[in-house]
Amino acid sequence: MSIEQKTFGTMPDGTKIHLYTLKNTNGACIQAMEYGARVVSIQVPDRKGTFGNVVLGHDTLEEYLADGDFLGAAVGRYANRIGGGTAEIDGTPYSFSQNENGNTLHGGFQGFHQKVWRLKCSNNDDEAPSITFAYRSIDGEEGFPGNLDVSICYTLTTDNALVIDYKAKTDASTLVNLTNHSFFNLTGDPARDILSHELQIYADHFTAAGQDLVPTGEFAPVAGTPADFRTAKTIGQDIRAADPFLRKCNGYDHNFVLAGEPGRKKAAEVYDQSTGRVMLVFTDMPGMQLYTANGFSEGVVANGGIPLQAHHALCLETQFFPDAPHHENFPSAVLRPGEVYQHTTTYKFEVRK
């Protein structure tokens, strides 16, 4: 196993951005970089032993710098949406950057996905190489209170799993909801869609949302809806159903209420029959957003210059529920001084013969 470092590109201000490659003894490798603490590629085998990159990425740093690009990114301070861009934290009202139709999305205009993270440490362990990125979000950034110190550790295990450990501390009560926004395509070919991927999600409910995609506070049963993935089905089976929310979003953009007791649990399983690749998702977070890459800006391309198209990837973003500050029945996303925000998500890759 090993960790390799190289320069990936240079920021407009001259800051060099480094790309780190983690390899294990099976030949699997994961690449991540300092800009946005992004996962750039995940190389894992198919049933024939052929390796392929199962996440969408770009060939150059300049492409990642485009506004609205979230490929592989760390998302924060608050992943997903805060309705109205305002919230009370311990009785004090705050107003955040309103960057989507009057709401706050993925941390505001300049979220964590657009920040240069520093390499805090690396561990070239024979069993599980890892790298840890760190970022300080200053008090008032995008309207959020408190100086927030964040670290994200990426570990590649011997059984081809990417383990993501998140930690954060604050010096004032604030909101924290971190996730990873990798776009997965288990075929390894961004020119192919993911509608034939079979998906199972361990959730009986999702957080119902209005046309602005902000939750209403209701836990809606998945039973009898296109969002029922309790039994594995292809993503394409119901994606074009006569459902107002699906049609509004041009696909799935649902936050699922994960079943089971608090703590680490299996959240989802994805299977691509054409390659035999399987991805298992485990997390200790209460929710997971399914997003089926419902649209990309015109002219945006993936590695090799392949145009990015709707439904050619899916995201499984583990997180607190969107708009949690406005719903007392949602798990709290408030972090206070002296507390540690800490959670772990695992994306494990296997092969089905």
pLDDT in tens, 8-17: 999 999 999 9
- Find the DSSP H helices in the chain: 61-64, 244-249
Q: Which tokens is 334 given? A: 């408030």
- pLDDT classification of 36: cutoffs 50, 70, 90: very high
Residue 1 has pLDDT above 70, yes or no: no
Q: What is the pLDDT of residue 127?
A: 79
Predicted local distance difference test score (pLDDT) of residue 125:
77
* Dihedral sign of CA atoms 208, 183, 133, 263 in order: positive
pLDDT in tens, 68-117: 999 999 999 999 999 999 999 999 999 999 999 999 999 999 999 999 99
Tell me what pLDDT residue 2 has: 81
Q: Find the range with the poorest average confidence among 39-43, 182-186, 260-264.
A: 260-264
The pTM is what? 0.97
Give the pLDDT confidence score for residue 124 in this predicted structure. Answer: 84
Round to whole Å and give the CA distance between 41 and 301: 15
Q: What whole-number percentage of the chain has pLDDT above 70?
A: 99
pLDDT in tens, 294-330: 999 999 999 999 999 999 999 999 999 999 999 999 9
- At 253 the pLDDT is 98
Give the span between the Cα atoms of 243 and 10, in whole angstroms. Answer: 45
User: Which residues participate in catalysis according to the annotation?
Assistant: 181, 317
What per-residue confidence (pLDDT) applies to 35? 98
- pLDDT digits over 145-155, tens only? 999 999 999 99
Pairing of strands 29-33, 39-45: antiparallel
